[in-house]
């Protein structure tokens, strides 16, 4: 799965969990500062991403995923 | 010589809940009150946990005081006198000490004389556990009517400078009376534990409650729905039969997530979902029966409603069962 495909799927998850418009979800955006996604919504995004991509995203790793791009690279590297 | 034969007995085949009661202190603590003490805000708290205000016990109001008030109301709301009850169970995890227990003195003060009385600690999962124990005591013939009480006084266990936790917990007690029935009114218990995750919720070295919010949230939003669904299966029902969901009032986001998952699996859109945490805070083992009493009084739940109770918390422990609204 290419990074573009990961981003597409991740957009759908972030939109579903946090109600963010997909066009706003680009790689350089910070989940917390730009997209207003709080820590609990991040957990929900992680849980859905784990199911979708077959990766493990433990809570201590989750805290390091600041931007959408961080999440895409983490998934690409660890799946 | 013949060996002496032991006798065992059984009771009625079916049990049901008969009535509810609750008690809370008069001290109302708003989010703005807390934001004057710690770095937080009304908006932050509402968004993260869904609480607008919580109720704390009065200074001189003990855990047992609240249990007595809630229990006495539940007996009265069941149309019974204290002498009709023979067993009292108090589910709690916040007594000041292990000795004495809460149940014996609670029973005596309500007027249930010489009651069989014991406390039960399954933390926030305590109420469904206690209802199940009560139901089996009646079905086994060991008890006739059981007063089941959840009671917590968190005030002393809270670090009021810990902004992650002081916003969540509160005090209160809720109760229900259980007795024999013509038709089944209490479904089997779906329960279990995850002792390997014990460190997620506990006490700090200074004796204050803490929980790892993110991890607890993840666990509760992924592992609890299957337990709830299992309870419905054990009761021989479908999720679409559930009229009311009363989950432990841990965090409104967890409750909403659970409701969403159950609806995705077949629960109805018009299923009533308890949201008592908004004005009561998280009262651990007391949260389910307080919600039941408030909802019954407000007419949000009605006699005959099929209600799914779901408890989960420290231990980690979890429990769920289906009950019929009295």
Cβ-defined contact of B218 to A39 (cutoff 8 Å)? no
The residue assigned the tokens 């204050």 is B208
Chain B partners within 8 Å of A47 (Cβ): 218, 221-222
**pLDDT score recorded for residue B260:** 94
Q: Extract the tokens encoding B63.
A: 């855990």
Selecting among B93, B166, B282, B294, the annotated active-site residue is B282
**pLDDT score recorded for residue B1:** 73
**pLDDT score recorded for residue B199:** 94
pTM over 0.90: yes
Model confidence band, residue A35 (pLDDT cutoffs 50, 70, 90): very high
Cβ-defined contact of B221 to A39 (cutoff 8 Å)? no
Q: Which residues contact B232 (CB under 8 A, 6 or more apart)?
A: B187, B238, B239, B241, B242, B308, B322
Model confidence band, residue A70 (pLDDT cutoffs 50, 70, 90): very high
In chain A, the residue whose alpha carbon lies closest to the alpha carbon of B47 is A38
Distance from CA of B214 to the nearest CA of A (A): 6
| Strand-pair partners of B88 | B117, B147
Sign of CA dihedral B166, B251, B73, B187: negative
Model confidence band, residue A69 (pLDDT cutoffs 50, 70, 90): very high
**pLDDT score recorded for residue B85:** 98
CB B307 within 8 A of CB B244: yes
Q: What is the ipTM of this complex?
A: 0.87
What are the φ and ψ backbone dihedral angles of A6, each rounded to 5 degrees?
Answer: -60, -45
Point out the residues of chain B with pLDDT beneath 50. Answer: none
**pLDDT score recorded for residue A63:** 87
What angle, 0 to 180 degrees and rounded to 10, lies between the N-to-C axes of helices B126-139 and B287-297? Answer: 80
Cβ-defined contact of B253 to A62 (cutoff 8 Å)? no
Q: Let me know if B124 is a catalytic residue.
A: yes
Q: Give the closest of A42, A44, A62 to B221, CB-based.
A: A44
**pLDDT score recorded for residue B62:** 97
Q: Extract the tokens encoding B150.
A: 């959840």
**pLDDT score recorded for residue B6:** 92
**pLDDT score recorded for residue B320:** 98
What percentage of residues in chain A have a pLDDT greater than 70? 100
Say whether residue A59 is in contact with chain B using an 8 A CB cutoff: yes
Q: Let me know if B208 is a catalytic residue.
A: no
For A54-68, the pLDDT digits (tens) are: 999 998 889 899 999
Interface of A with B in 11-50 (CB under 8 A): 38-40, 42-44, 46-47
């Amino acid at each position: 799965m290419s990074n573009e495909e990961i981003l597409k799927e991740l957009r759908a998850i972030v939109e579903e969990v946090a109600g963010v418009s997909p066009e706003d979800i680009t790689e350089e955006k910070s989940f917390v500062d730009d997209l207003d996604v709080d820590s609990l919504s991040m957990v929900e995004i992680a849980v859905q991403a784990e199911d979708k991509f077959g990766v493990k995203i433990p809570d201590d790793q989750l805290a390091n995923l600041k931007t959408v791009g961080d999440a895409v690279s983490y998934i690409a590297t660890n799946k | 010589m013949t060996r002496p034969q032991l006798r065992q007995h059984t009771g009625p085949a079916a049990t049901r809940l008969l009535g509810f009661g609750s008690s809370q202190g008069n001290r109302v603590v708003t989010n703005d009150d807390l934001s004057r003490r710690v770095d937080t805000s009304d908006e932050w708290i509402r968004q993260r946990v869904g609480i607008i205000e919580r109720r704390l016990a009065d200074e001189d109001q003990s855990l047992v005081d609240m249990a007595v008030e809630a229990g006495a109301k539940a007996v009265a709301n069941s149309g019974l006198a204290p002498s009709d009850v023979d067993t009292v169970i108090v589910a709690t995890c916040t007594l000041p000490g292990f000795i004495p227990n809460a149940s014996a003195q609670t029973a005596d003060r309500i007027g249930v004389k010489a009651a069989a009385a014991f406390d039960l600690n399954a933390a926030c999962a305590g109420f469904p556990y206690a209802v199940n124990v009560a139901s089996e005591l009646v079905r086994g013939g060991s008890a006739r009517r059981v007063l089941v009480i959840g009671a917590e006084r968190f005030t002393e266990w809270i670090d009021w400078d810990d902004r992650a936790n002081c916003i969540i917990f509160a005090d209160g007690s809720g109760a229900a009376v259980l007795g024999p029935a013509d038709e089944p009114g209490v479904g089997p218990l779906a329960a279990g534990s995850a002792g390997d995750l014990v460190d997620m919720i506990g006490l700090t070295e200074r004796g204050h409650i803490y929980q790892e919010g993110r991890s607890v949230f993840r666990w509760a939003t992924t592992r609890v729905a299957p337990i709830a669904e299992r309870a419905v299966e054990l009761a021989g029902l479908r999720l679409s039969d559930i009229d009311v969901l009363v989950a432990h009032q841990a965090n409104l986001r967890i409750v909403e997530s659970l409701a969403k998952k159950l609806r995705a699996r077949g629960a109805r859109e018009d299923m009533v979902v308890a949201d008592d945490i908004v004005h009561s805070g998280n009262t651990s083992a007391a949260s389910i029966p307080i919600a039941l009493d408030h909802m019954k009084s407000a007419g949000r739940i009605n006699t005959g409603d099929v209600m799914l109770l779901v408890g989960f918390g420290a231990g980690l422990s979890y429990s769920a069962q289906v009950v019929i609204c009295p």
